[in-house]
C-alpha cells in the first residue's frame, strides 16, 4: 500500500485550505514516483490531473491496481453526502456532486487503459463487482442495475 495521501485528511489535520492540501498531496505522490516508492490515494477521479499521476506512475514502471466504486445515479451520492454532513462530515455542493459523477464515469475508460488490475464496484445498495480487468483479461458482471451493454459502454467510454 505504501504511503497514503488524501487531501481531505490533510485539511482536517493541518487546517490547510482545500487547494493547498490538494497541491501538497499531489507533490507527495509525484515524490513517491520519483523515489520509486509504493503509494495509494483516494479520488473522485473527476479530473484529468489524477489520471496524469497514474500515467506518470505507469510510464515509470509501476504496476497499477485500482478499485473504483460507483452508484447507478448521482442522486444517491447527493443523499450520501447529505447524510455525511448530518454526521459532522464536510459538504459538497449538489451540482458539483452531479457533474463529478458523470466526469468520473467517463474516466473509467482511461482507467481501463492505464491499470494493470481494475475492479469496478457498484455500491448502489451493497458493493458488488461489475467489471474486472486483470492485465488484458476483462470480465463484466451484469446485474439488476447494469446490463451487459451498459457495462461495455462504461468500460469503453461510450
From CA 90, how far away is CA 128, in angstroms rounded?
A: 26
Instruction: List pLDDT tens digits, range 73-102.
Output: 999 999 999 998 898 878 899 999 999 999
From CA 123, how far away is CA 129, in angstroms rounded?
A: 9
**138 forms bridges with which residues in the sheet?**
133
Could you tell me if 60 and 121 lie in one domain? yes
From CA 153, how far away is CA 144, in angstroms rounded?
A: 16
Is the pTM above the cut of 0.85? Answer: yes
Up-side HSE of residue 91: CA atoms within 13 Å toward CB? Answer: 6
Element (H, E) at 154: helix 148-156
Run means of pLDDT, 10 residues per run, the chain, 158 residues: 91 90 95 97 91 97 97 96 88 94 95 97 97 96 96 89
The answer to whether residue 146 sits within a structural domain is yes
What would the grid cell of residue 8 be? 481531505
Could you tell me if 33 and 68 lie in one domain? no
- SS3 sequence, 50-117? HHHHHHHHHHCCCCCEEEEEECCCHHHHHHHHHHHHHCCCCCCCHHHHHHHHHHHHHCHHHHHHHCCE
Instruction: Give the gyration radius of the chain's Cα atoms.
Output: 16
Determine the pLDDT at residue 20. 95
Could you tell me if 147 and 126 lie in one domain? yes
Range of the domain at 11: 1-42
Could you tell me if 139 and 63 lie in one domain? yes
Could you tell me if 36 and 107 lie in one domain? no
Determine the pLDDT at residue 58. 98
CA angle 144, 145, 147 (to 5 degrees): 80
Could you tell me if 147 and 97 lie in one domain? yes
What would the grid cell of residue 79 be? 443523499
If we measure between CA atoms, which residue out of 34, 37, 45 comes closest to residue 68?
45
Determine the pLDDT at residue 25. 95
Amino acid at each position: 500500500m505504501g504511503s497514503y495521501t488524501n487531501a481531505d485528511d490533510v485539511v482536517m489535520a493541518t487546517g490547510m485550505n482545500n487547494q493547498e492540501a490538494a497541491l501538497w498531496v499531489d507533490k507527495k505522490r509525484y515524490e513517491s514516483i520519483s523515489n520509486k516508492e509504493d503509494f495509494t490515494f483516494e479520488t473522485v477521479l473527476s479530473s484529468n490531473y489524477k489520471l496524469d499521476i497514474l500515467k506518470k506512475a505507469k510510464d515509470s514502471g509501476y504496476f497499477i491496481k485500482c478499485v473504483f466504486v460507483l452508484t447507478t445515479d448521482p442522486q444517491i451520492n447527493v443523499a450520501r453526502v447529505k447524510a455525511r454532513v448530518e454526521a459532522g462530515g464536510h459538504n459538497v455542493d449538489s451540482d458539483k456532486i452531479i457533474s463529478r459523477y458523470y466526469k468520473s464515469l467517463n474516466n473509467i475508460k482511461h482507467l481501463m487503459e492505464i491499470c494493470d488490475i481494475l475492479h469496478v464496484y457498484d455500491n448502489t445498495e451493497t458493493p458488488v463487482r461489475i467489471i474486472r480487468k486483470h492485465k488484458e483479461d476483462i470480465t463484466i458482471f451484469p446485474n439488476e442495475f447494469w446490463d451487459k451493454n451498459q457495462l461495455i459502454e462504461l468500460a469503453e467510454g461510450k
